[in-house]
Structure 1
Amino acid sequence: MTRNESDDPLSSLAPFLRVKPELQDFCRFGGTWVSPHEASGGAQFHIVTRGHCVFEVTGHGPVKLGAGDTLLLPHGDAHVVCSVSTDGTIRSIVTEFRNAIRTKLTPGVACDTELVCGVLRGEAASEQALIAALPNFVVLRSTRLPLAERLHMLAICISDELDSNETGSTIIATNLATALFVMMLREHLKEAPPASGLLALLTHRSTSHAVLAMLREPARDWTLDLLAKTSAASRATLVRSFRKLAGLAPLAFLTELRLGFARQRLMTTNDPICVIAADVGYQSEGALSRALLRRYGVRPSKLRLGRSG
């Protein structure tokens, strides 16, 4: 039986999950090695295609990864990936380039660990909101071989398309990266169903349609009656569900969404503040400025100046 969109939140989310892929590294390591990764502006991922390694990030204990496991860092936090073995001298890592893709090697020692690494960048504010709703890192343990094979295949296909430089390669790679991210998100939701927040709202029928409508049209003059009609629920049911899953009433959640979108655009674009205000549902630059000050304690100009700091 085919599931319709109302029963499948991830299908409904598809328009908000388009990401720009940047496949960065093929890592082929052996012996004892340490590979640090700086913070980035996108969701970083590592797919272990052979062997084992250890992942470390500040504030969390070490996590061991094996072949077929996938690590996703939605917020692009700085981290370190290193060998399981700590015996012997730490091997130097040599970088070679094939077009825009780096190959990292530990010369002079047999390779026993391979990783495919990259970044998924969400370009729209709605994508940023969804990514921000994920935890600091997600580890997908591939105990089922087909999943490992599919993730590996997608990573290699993305690499091949970006490397080919053929007509249409960019859009093909983007769609493959979107599929990769949706698969990661699906497996995460299976393993750790969200109890609260944006993802919880999106996975419950009573609230998902209202949230999707807000994501599609944040500037619309939404009322509680209109949101209830969109959700095919009563006002009381909608308010009760939002408070249970997000700790906010629907219109308060809309305000959070609008200000989050505005903050993201101020920090990542040069769009005029008056344009951003209109796009997220504020009638003037001053109204947006006052709302941002109340919510974040900072004016729009300060957010924009802070981009390079």
Structure 2
Amino acid sequence: MDALTRILELARVRGALDLRCQLAGGFSLDHEDAGPGEAPFHLVLAGEGVMELPGRRTLPLRAGDLVVLPHGTSHRVRDTRGTLHDAPILLDASGPLVLKSTAGEGPVLDLLCGRFVHAPDAGQLLFSTLPDALHVSLAEAHGMATLEAIVSVFRTEVGDLAPGALAVVTALSQALLVFALRAQLEHGLMPPSLLTLMADPRLGRALLAMLRDPAHEWTVEALAAQAAMSRATFARHFEAKGKQSPHEVLTLLRMHLAAEFLRRGDLTAAAVAERVGYRSESAFGKTFLRIMGTTPARFRRA
């Protein structure tokens, strides 16, 4: 298992499809800020439109575009003409997936709208350093053949709504998040973070070693060996790519792994402390409180 997959597991990221929008004529739909632990997304199946973000920033929406809003930022989806008059909105909730539509002339903007739901605590490992919007052209990132295959599956599953269709679409939605994250990394658009560490072939090996064996007494020398680098080179590159020292990242990962154990509820706090490399339950409790903002006992109860 690679580091990003493990972090996605820790963050308990799940894709949820909310509705399909088929918008024509003059339309303008406002979306409020999402709640904690939610990152809305829009996938354009066909047509064109515009997304407006705070500060008058606009993003063009074209077939194959994916927009993810990691911080749940409020936004507006409108037609390309910037009409001042909203078309009447029709809702059809007769099927498993709600259909929102507007009547009007001109091409239809066909959208799948959903959200990525994640644990508010561990989710910050992924989402906190991301920009307000990830805008990815799947056609450019993966080629038209891949795009057409993905869109074809979405259209078929959403159109037919055969048994299990929403489960298929939900699983594909999570794959879309990975595509969006990869695109940010490949284009060098990410600030220093855990994600940029994961993207580095050698530093990523050290990060994965921490995740696989958090109880190990990792030293900078031992982590440098995982990355096949000298101690000094490893420490310098690690802090440049991650904006934190190896020890700080190790502590952060240990506490989020501890939170995962506590959620399961089958281990004592002392056993959890040992699993993540702490011989003293007291020292573990103090560190957990500092990183997670609550005690292990309160976290388990919550």
> TM bucket by the smaller chain?
0.7 to 0.9
* Structure 1 residues 145 and 125: alpha-carbon distance in aligned structure 2, compared to 1, 3 A threshold: closer
Q: Please, which runs of 5 or more residues in structure 2 have no aligned partner?
A: none
TM-score by length of 1: 0.74
Partner of residue 221, structure 1: 217
Deviation at 1:270, TM superposition (A): 7.8
Alpha-carbon shift at residue 71 of structure 1 (Å): 0.7
Q: Could you tell me which residue of structure 1 aligns to residue 251 of structure 2?
A: 255
User: Deviation at 1:242?
Assistant: 1.2
Q: Do the aligned residues in 2 keep the contact of 1:292 with 1:299 (CA within 8 Å)? A: yes
Distance in 2, Cα, partners of 1:143 & 1:169: 24
Matched, 1:231 2:227: yes
Report the counterpart of residue 20 of structure 2 in structure 1: 26
Aligned residue for 2:133? 137
Residues matched between the structures, number: 293
Cα distance in 1 for residues equivalent to 2:194 and 2:77: 30
- After TM superposition, the structure 1 = structure 2 runs for residues 1-309 of structure 1, keeping only pairs within 5 Å, are 13-14=4-5, 16-17=7-8, 20-30=14-24, 31-40=26-35, 41-58=37-54, 61-97=57-93, 99-107=95-103, 112-121=108-117, 129-141=125-137, 144=140, 147=143, 150-151=146-147, 153-154=149-150, 157-158=153-154, 160-161=156-157, 163-166=161-164, 170=167, 173=169, 175-260=171-256, 271=265, 274=269, 277=273, 280-283=276-279, 286-295=282-291, 299=295
Question: Deviation digits for residues 144-185 of structure 1, max 9, x if unmatched?
Answer: 49746634642552575583224x984x55653343233222
Q: How many angstroms does 1:25 deviate by?
A: 1.6
* Cα separation, 2, equivalents of 1:132 and 1:154: 28
Whether contact under 8 Å (1:46, 1:70) holds in the other structure is yes
- Post-superposition Cα deviations, 1:232-270, rounded to whole Å, max 9, x if no partner, equal 22222221211222233211221123345557888xx58
Q: Which moved more, 1:183-192 or 1:136-145?
A: 136-145
How big is the shift at 1:49?
2.8
- In structure 2, what is the Cα distance between the partners aligned to 1:273 and 1:99? 45
- Relative to structure 1, the CA distance from residue 270 to residue 281 in structure 2 (aligned partners, 3 Å threshold; closer, same or farther) is same
Distance 1:180 1:291 in 2: 35
The 10-residue stretch of structure 1 (143-152 or 131-140) with the greater mean CA deviation from structure 2: 143-152
Q: Where does structure 1 differ by over 6 angstroms across 4 or more consecutive aligned residues?
A: 123-127, 263-266, 301-305
Distance 1:265 1:57 in 2: 38
- Whichever residue aligns with residue 24 of structure 1, its letter is D
Alpha-carbon distance, 1:29 to partner: 0.9
- Local SS of the residue matching 1:248: coil
State the secondary structure of the residue aligned to 2:185.
Answer: helix
SS, match of residue 115 in structure 2? strand
Structure 1 residues without counterparts, runs of 5 or longer: 1-9
Q: Is the 8 A contact 2:16 2:170 kept in 1?
A: no
**C-alpha contact (below 8 Å) 1:52/1:64 kept by paired residues:** yes
CA distance in 2, matches of 1:82, 1:219: 51
For the 8 Å contact 1:23–1:159, the answer to whether it is kept is no
Deviations 1:13-66 (A, max 9, x none): 445557533222211112132242541434322122333333234466233323
* C-alpha RMSD of matched pairs (Å): 4.0
Secondary structure of the equivalent of 1:287?
helix
| Partner SS state of residue 283, structure 2 | helix
The normalised TM-score by structure 2 is 0.75
What amino acid maps onto 2:81 in structure 1?
Answer: S
2:57 aligned counterpart, secondary structure:
coil
Q: Secondary structure in 1 aligned to 2:80?
A: coil
**Which amino acid is 2:31 matched to?**
P
